[in-house]
Structure 1
Amino acid sequence: MRRPTIHDIAREAGVAKSTVSFALNGQPGVSEATRRRIAAVAHELGWQPSRAARALSGANAEVVGLVLARPAGLLEVEPFFMRLIAGVEAALGADDIGLLLQVVGEDPAHEMEVYRRWWGQRRVDGVLVADIRVDDPRLPLLAELGLPCVLLGNEVPGSGLTTVGVDSKAAMVAAVAHLRALGHTRIARVAGIAEFQQTVLRGQAFAEAAGPDAVVVSADYSGERGAEATRELLTSDRPPTAIVYDNDVMAVSAVGVAAELGVDVPGQLSIIAWDDSPLCRLPHPALTAMSLDIPGYGAAAAAALLRVIAGERVPDTVFGTAQLVVRGSTAPA
């Protein structure tokens, strides 16, 4: 079927096209009764505003964007982003704002091209920016474009961009303190992507809290790399008695590797996961985890972005600190 136009609405309502335009754009010069009648006809015909026309008029797109520079295969099994997006959608839906999601693989340059295109075509009113990196090349571009944004990360001095983050350092200190209280001294960490801001912050806290025998192996949040790192640690000359994982997918994979190598969890190896998705309750034993309200985090970031889009000066905020949830995967050394 042909898409209904303002001309169709004007014919059905018995008014001029200019009257329809004034009514649908909230401009003065139209009585309230006429405005209601035109809105009813537009709804009945299924009329929607043209994206191109809205861009030319300078009107808001009523859409915000989120670009994920991650492998599509990882997103199939990584619960974090689905929970984050659920929170974002809950906050945006209350204001009838849409979310435009694009997955671009592991190429930050591709992500930057998406921002240029979206903003040039006025397809979005603003963006949420995930996976903040050290010396992140996206941040100068976003500032140069003037694209309203909120960074899902901790404060970046000098960027001039609003951040909504979590206290990664305090959470890591709590995780290590739990293991030390159980008598563990050989504690290892399987870390996320090395250049990510949160990986660096957790690393600083881990180095300070875990002691001189601490070991860190870098991974990429995938189950495959998490399993490889676990096998590397458990077959080393001085295997750790406890390992902290930077996400739940890698921690779940570790349980299988430990069983394969004949290492009892938690009798010989204690495991702490991050993010505490339902995955953490599937293995036996269930995984001790650092738990954060991820949907709430997404909703808080989306709410901050809507304020930035509205022209407000929004201060950097810390949403919260992940809390330790003790289950069966940790025990005395």
Structure 2
Amino acid sequence: MGKRVTIADIARAAGVSKGAVSYALNGQPGVSEATRERILQIAAELGFTPSRGTRPPSGSGAVGLVLCRPPRILGVEPFFMELISGIEAALSASSCDLTLHVVADHGAELEVYERWATQRRVDGVFLVDVRVADERLDAVRRLELPAVAIAGPGDFGGITSVWSDDAAAITDAVEYLAALGHRTIARVGGLPHLLHTVIRTEAFAAACRRLDVQHAVTVPSDYSGEEGGRATRRLLSSTERPTAIIYDNDIMAVAGLGVAHEMDLSVPRDLSIVAWGDSLLCSAVHPPLTALSRDVAAYGSVAAQHLLTVMAEGTVPSRQHATAFLVPRGSTARPSQVLADTIR
């Protein structure tokens, strides 16, 4: 008696996910008619005999997102709220739910994926805050969880990514500040082990070297207002006090603006500020913050559409989303010394 043909066998032969095979065999929505016909033909050729347990991998039709961030940061972080709103908009159109889980550390995050896969709680997952040498990539492949990484460019071992060109965006910000005459520029970065932080840090340093910025430094932080404020105080108290600071999110930029006022520095005369992220916070303060802006909700929507396709078809090419663009506002100007020289 030969080995019983399984859904995994059909998935391998068809080049799709097990979820897509299950949808096709059960007449469920989620795959195109062409893909359904191809899967059914391959199943017939292999001699597949369905069992009573054949069904989509998740009874709830859900996808998962695990956030490994302190809840206090997520409560005020505009980026993730906008990203989730875009994801939800795309998923609701496909009658798919989002399961959100917040954890304190990476070990707990891996445990969530194991539990979701074992209990068949979700049909796919989003991977955010992708790290250098991220063990989650191997984990979701081992668990056969369809996944989309919301991350930078790179080889993720066959996992589809949706990404934005952070290197080009940070370069635009440095070029703008250099054109205003700034030659001492600092950056308050995010968590240093994240892939997008590394990309931004390397691009910032390269742009400063090319534009002959005399003193350029990146200070790591954790995206919180508290850490952003502390980093700003250290920078503004140093012997090489920057005339401009770029922040990796708008929460830290608003905190930095508050520190500048606290230290009796005028923005933008004594200090120019650029925020990464252009939420309503940037327009609600005085002066309003120059920011790198992009449609984060649309970014989330594209990621969700890609995950739905990966779940149905098994694979989809990675996609570059729109690059953040600079929106100059009242927080940036020529540094006071350059301005004085110009007037003379």
TM-score by length of 1: 0.82
Counterpart Cα distance in 2 of 1:304 and 1:26? 22
Matching of residues 76-91 of structure 1 within 5 Å: 76-91=75-90
Partner of 1:276: 278
Q: 2:56 aligns with which of 37, 41, 59?
A: 59
Shift of the 123–297 alpha-carbon distance from structure 1 to 2, 3 Å rule, reads same
**Structure 1 residues 98-156: Cα deviation after superposition (integer angstroms, max 9, x where no partner):** 00000002x11110110010011111000011000001111111111110000000233
Counterpart Cα distance in 1 of 2:75 and 2:281? 13
The letter of the residue matching 1:119 is A
Partner of 1:166: 164
Q: Which runs of 4+ in 1 moved over 6 A?
A: none
Matched residue of 1:58: which SS? coil
Counterpart Cα distance in 1 of 2:141 and 2:275? 35
**Structure 1 residues 310-333: Cα deviation after superposition (integer angstroms, max 9, x where no partner):** 024211111120000111000011
Runs (5+) with no aligned partner, structure 2: 1-25, 29-51, 336-344
Shift of the 283–306 alpha-carbon distance from structure 1 to 2, 3 Å rule, reads same
Counterpart Cα distance in 2 of 1:127 and 1:267? 46
> Is 2:146–2:314's contact at 8 Å kept on the other side of the alignment?
no
Partner of 2:303: 301
Matched residue of 1:77: which SS? coil
The letter of the residue matching 1:58 is R
Shift of the 112–263 alpha-carbon distance from structure 1 to 2, 3 Å rule, reads same
Partner of 2:224: 222
Partner of 2:134: 136
Matched residue of 2:215: which SS? coil
Structure 1 position 58, deviation (Å): 2.7
Structure 1 position 56, deviation (Å): 5.0
Matching of residues 27-38 of structure 1 within 5 Å: none
Counterpart Cα distance in 2 of 1:280 and 1:310? 39
Counterpart Cα distance in 2 of 1:57 and 1:275? 45
The letter of the residue matching 2:303 is A
Matching of residues 218-257 of structure 1 within 5 Å: 218-257=220-259
Counterpart Cα distance in 2 of 1:282 and 1:56? 55
Q: 1:153 aligns with which of 140, 151, 154?
A: 151
Structure 1 position 289, deviation (Å): 0.2
Partner of 2:96: 97
Counterpart Cα distance in 2 of 1:316 and 1:185? 37
Matching of residues 64-79 of structure 1 within 5 Å: 64-79=63-78
The letter of the residue matching 1:82 is M
Q: 1:324 aligns with which of 323, 326, 334?
A: 326
Do residues 118 (structure 1) and 116 (structure 2) align? yes
Counterpart Cα distance in 1 of 2:242 and 2:166? 23
Structure 1 position 282, deviation (Å): 1.4
Counterpart Cα distance in 2 of 1:312 and 1:158? 15
Counterpart Cα distance in 2 of 1:251 and 1:330? 12
Matched residue of 1:135: which SS? coil
Partner of 1:38: none
Counterpart Cα distance in 2 of 1:204 and 1:238? 21
Structure 1 position 279, deviation (Å): 0.9
Counterpart Cα distance in 2 of 1:175 and 1:258? 20
Runs (5+) with no aligned partner, structure 1: 1-24, 28-54
Matched residue of 2:313: which SS? coil
**Structure 1 residues 163-221: Cα deviation after superposition (integer angstroms, max 9, x where no partner):** 00110000000010110110001000000000000000001110011234101111000
CA RMSD of aligned residues (A): 1.4
Matched residue of 2:326: which SS? strand
Counterpart Cα distance in 2 of 1:217 and 1:92? 37
Counterpart Cα distance in 1 of 2:156 and 2:227? 35
**Structure 1 residues 250-287: Cα deviation after superposition (integer angstroms, max 9, x where no partner):** 00001110011011100100000011111111110000
Q: Relative contact order (alpha carbons < 8 A, sep ≥ 6): 1 or 2 greater? A: 2
Counterpart Cα distance in 2 of 1:300 and 1:26? 26
How many residues are treated as equivalent by the alignment?
A: 281
